[in-house]
Structure 1
Amino acid sequence: MKAIVMGVMFSVLAAPVLASTSALPRWANGESNCKIDGRPAKMFWQVVDDPQTECEGNICSTTSAVKTVGRFSDNGGAWVALNMTGVANGGNTLNIRYMGAERDNWQLIYDASSEMASGWTTWRGRRYPLSCWKGDVPLTERCANYANQAVQQFQNAQQRSCNVPQDARWQSNYSAHYGWCMQIKGRADALDSETRARTQVLNQCRRMESIINIRPNAGTIRVVPH
């Protein structure tokens, strides 16, 4: 397509051309919560249009292109620009240039099993830890919280003599609860369902316990799981 603007002829080439030889990894795209040297932070990446225009005399051509832009906010501070300087390791390693007043090189390496990217920043020649993830809390922390609660609920059931079955839902094995949560990537609906089922049984057990306290000869509490 050609157009004439103020005596200059433009030729627009619609074929997309990447401004970078490396595409933005899917895991980095969008907003992530981060920790930088223990402080809360946020990182954001996106791909935007970046048309390129070249002129020779009064004839110009514009080529459609895109580029990757990023930004970083440390502990609620102002957003600072980031440049993606390269991608390696099959898209799991992201090399970053911090474009603040003191420019430095950063790196993040993504672990698909934990859905977390960990690496480092640099400031005045020293490296500091950096980790980023999607969602409110990291998958590992989400699963640790779930496993701790599941074990605590099982122990509560035993202390109250609730007579629950020892199975995948009711057990004191922290690693089993944690491993299951990691396997399903911490799906909120599945975790909530398991926690809610245990809570219902414990509530039923408490009600039966109240009856026994009133009628001491009522016998042992037996809870039938739903």
Structure 2
Amino acid sequence: MRFVAVKSPEQQSLMMLHRLRLMLNRQRTQISNAIRAHISEFGVVAPVGRLGVERLLEVVADAGDDRVPGDARLCLQMLAAQLEVVKRQILENDRRVLASARRTELGRRLMDIPGVGSLLASAFVALVADPTVFKTGRDLAAWIGLVPKQNSSGGKDRLGSITRAGNRYLRQMLVVGAMAVIRYAERHGTKRPWLVQLLARRPAKVAAVALANKNARMV
């Protein structure tokens, strides 16, 4: 029987920061999509991305633009005000996450691993309450969901893609951090022969998952 390690109040507070970060990012995306959809009803469109949203906000703020009726402009200004509040809250949340990662010795040591930034280091400190509950690094990688799925029978081992079970938040950030390392290696080179050989044999995204697994074991 496997038991859940007890988290300290500080670790629970860090977990709240990360959960709030996810919620705020979803709200920012939701409000941005709402602004884009509503204003497109009047024939005003902009490129995909944050720069496109900024252009739409300029149209909303311009009272002399006759393409948007008065009532619609009022509604869009309300959405723009909500978006501005959410952006400020996201910045404040990110500052606290960065400070939490730099505040502890463990967080600073984790950030020394290539592909592990302040956000991921803080998440590991918060979510992995007691690393000794994992016997090996592979057990931690399996808990995150970065190990192959087995479809074995009749004495034949068949390994598929990663299981995608376990902690989705850590898995996502590990893969994103690994992709950043790979993109840097493709542009500037790397002294890690293991990674060079892997990139020569596999696509970049497959190599990123393998590197994420390796980073989890190092953690």
> What range describes the TM-score normalised by the shorter chain of this pair?
under 0.3
Instruction: Give the strand-richer structure, 1 or 2.
Output: 1
Please give the TM-score of this superposition, normalised by the length of structure 2.
Answer: 0.24
Instruction: Give the helix-richer structure, 1 or 2.
Output: 2
- Structure of larger gyration radius: 1
